[in-house]
Amino acid sequence: MTINKIETLSEFLHSSGAKYRVFDMGRRVVKLTPDEFIGFEAAKDPYPYPFKKEALIAVIFWDQKKPEHHYVWFLHFPLDEQGLLIQAARDEFLVMLLDRVGEQMLAEDDGKKIESALKDSPYTFKPREDRMAAFNAQVTKSIGLKPSQFYDYARSYFSEGSDLNDWQSLGMQGVADVAARLDDMEETLSLISVLPSVPERPFMMLSIFLENAQPAVGLVEVFTQQITMQLQEKEPDIARICACLGAISNSPATGLVDLAVKHVLQHPCSHNINILATISGRIWRVLEQDFLCKLYIEQLAQNDAGQQGFNQLLADAMFIPGLRAHIMKVLRAPERSQELTKAVGEMFA
């Protein structure tokens, strides 16, 4: 394949002889399947995890002959109204890439040149610190590398018999590694045992990184118990509820997660904009269920951030593939509340 025939980033990587993986860096740090990435690049399929009408991705690549050297580009591309890649932006990016690096990228001995080739590109971005830690954890797990030097201490901290008050030396990267590597049953059982007693700061930190993992049923049960406890309080801890919802958002135990979301949405605290943003921003799949979608939108119509909060969260949710039809069904329902009718009228005024 010649430079003139390269039309997509995936073609460029293949032509250079690179092995690569692509991760979403917007909604959560999660690996894209080859079909998802190729379909997105060809503008055949909407991006599965749009964030502020953009696709935020990380591309990690390496030479098969030198698997110890990995290079990463963090890229963001604009999406059209259907969530499809705006191909003119991708084409502009490719022209810059081919001009600076050339087709035989991995033949370049200077690794710094490869990574810095797009340093001033308008299509690159710098992830925030917690996203970077989650990305490192997901990548090392995905391609079979060892976790960071902070992993052992963090794993020990979240184990039975540890001094839970001695958390000040916990490294963010170590906690991210623990969250990404909870497929060991013994470690999961140990975490289930200690989690209710973990102090607030490490509890919140672990919850953030579990958003990118797939916690097992036992862990989901612990987090849902924490949610239930808060809902019984006179003044529920909103930050803790959001943390727990985020922690279970990507779990395969969808029945338990759906029940937790239902209980939260049936509580007055769900008028809080942060709770509503957590549900649609992290557990958006629940909006594919008519009952939960209706419950969510009705609460959103009474959120404590007013019309602006309603407009922003609803517009964001409608941009996620597969949700628009469910949301429009609720908005058009003749039995909708007066509050929702008013909010919809002002949104589309």
Amino acid 192: pLDDT: 92
CA 268 to chain centre: 27
Q: Are 192 and 222 in contact (CB under 8 A)?
A: yes
C-beta pairs of 184-193 under 8 Å, 24+ apart in sequence: 187/155, 187/158, 187/159, 188/216, 188/218, 188/219, 189/218, 190/158, 190/159, 190/160, 191/158, 191/159, 191/219, 192/218, 192/219, 192/221, 192/222, 193/160
Give the domain ranges of the chain: 3-127, 214-347
Amino acid 216: pLDDT: 93
Amino acid 70: pLDDT: 85
From the list 281, 264, 256, 199, the residue with the least C-alpha distance to 229 is 264
Instruction: Round to whole Å and give the CA distance between 169 and 205.
Output: 13
Of 63-67, 80-84, 125-129, 310-314, the least confident: 63-67
Q: What is the mean pLDDT of residues 249-270?
A: 98
From the list 156, 213, 204, the residue with the least C-alpha distance to 180 is 213
Whether residue 270 is predicted with pLDDT greater than 60 in this model: the reply is: yes
pTM: 0.93
Phi, psi of 186 (to 5 degrees): -65, -45
Residue with tokens 């020990």: 156
How does pLDDT run across 278-309, given as a tens digit for each residue? 999 999 999 999 999 999 999 999 999 999 99
pLDDT tier, 2 (very low <50, low <70, confident <90, very high otherwise): very low
pLDDT tier, 266 (very low <50, low <70, confident <90, very high otherwise): very high
Of 2-6, 7-11, 208-212, 215-219, the least confident: 2-6
Q: What is the mean pLDDT of residues 238-260?
A: 98
Amino acid 13: pLDDT: 85
How does pLDDT run across 102-147, given as a tens digit for each residue? 655 655 555 556 666 777 889 999 999 999 999 999 999 998 899 9
Instruction: Round to whole Å and give the CA distance between 287 and 317.
Output: 9
Q: What's 84's DSSP letter?
A: -
Instruction: Round to whole Å and give the CA distance between 153 and 110.
Output: 35
Contacts of 254 (CB under 8 A, 6+ apart): 285
Instruction: Round to whole Å and give the CA distance between 207 and 191.
Output: 12
